[in-house]
Structure 1
């Protein structure tokens, strides 16, 4: 591991420490699993105080770039970048009411239509088999009366389509949306056997369009699936709220 630093003196020194660690990650000088130098060593390297270094490490931890370990052999260790922190912020936006049904529907119609079309262009035999296996698992859960299992399978199908599209940005964003919102909040969940059956049939049709390489059809089916899901979800949420208000 190599960490070459540029010394700087200003009132926001901790930000300078943060930015240089980030740059070291970008350049590949630091990799997941690498331990950063001790607080004392970093303070010497940057010619600053341990308090400034401690603040910089706190910011890096909040950004999800390092884990701070305590005890013998502890310290700051570079972690694998992921979407957890962004997902937590998105979670908060939902809780604050800043992300509503129409926002989610508009976003998903646009993105998932594009992703389905790309998946149809890039699907191969192995990916086709995986997609069919995922949708078959969702179908089996539904037929077995396992509604929660089906909803988990629904998420797995959408993420498998995103993986087939071979674009890590689309995959990361859709994983965040499906796992941190659609799979975590009651207001974004569907219920009712007929509704879930219709949802499953839509998924099966979407997967077949992707597997058969029908890009335009896959995009259309994805948009229609999201639009129908969003409309039903809003109606069910309104019904739940009405029942609660009547109690």
Structure 2
């Protein structure tokens, strides 16, 4: 005979959250963008027409369009020639997302500087395979500008150029994922550096020049070793400054 008695302890179920209408609308529009039916520069139908097609209120339609705007998929323009326009791909969503996580305390300075070391090692290996003479010239120009900023005592410009070096390096990979991720990490790092204040770090530019020699030879192991050594040294310096500021 089957035992139909109740379990000894109450069953625990996860509450089901019904999908909101605006999420379904945004999902359908995302699908059209992903499939290529909607292309960068295309304008979506007017809000009134979209509301009728989806059979929802205009408030719900506006909420869906705002969600797409926050996702970096559309731009909402005002005026007679306005509307919702599909945007080309942009790393801004990743950059803004990482920046928000940093300001909320979800990314610590230790995690940020650690991630930069790992990410840069991958970027350097790919760069050694794909870098062009034009890329090398752009990187050399960055080093020259950073040297001039150092000589002029312009800390903010020098720090910005040194961080931008990593973004330019990521561009040489021709990989949008690596480039966008490096942009996000670099933007947050700039914010962190501004917060801890000026530091000399005279070893950075000499290391950059040694790195460029390895990059020109496409010696990935030597290039990664040089870059990693520099970033680990900078990490110790940055975290030491940050901890001192926290104690002050």
Deviates more, 1:118-127 or 1:80-89: 80-89
Q: Distance in 1 between matches of 2:50 and 2:96?
A: 29
Length-normalised TM-score, structure 2: 0.85
Length-normalised TM-score, structure 1: 0.85
Where does 1:1-247 land on structure 2 (aligned, <5 Å)?
12-179=20-187, 181-186=188-193, 191-193=198-200, 195=201, 197-242=202-247, 245=248
Q: Distance in 2 between matches of 1:34 and 1:123?
A: 34
Q: Distance in 2 between matches of 1:155 and 1:177?
A: 10
Q: CA RMSD in A?
A: 2.0
Contact 1:182 1:188 in 2 (8 A): no
Post-superposition CA distance 1:102-137 (Å, at most 9, x none): 212321121101111111121222222222122121
Q: Which runs of 5+ in 1 are unaligned?
A: 1-9
Contact 1:205 1:221 in 2 (8 A): yes
Runs of 4+ in 1 over 6 A off after TM superposition: none
Q: Which runs of 5+ in 2 are unaligned?
A: 1-17
* Bigger CA radius of gyration: 2
Post-superposition CA distance 1:63-94 (Å, at most 9, x none): 12112222322221222232323322322222
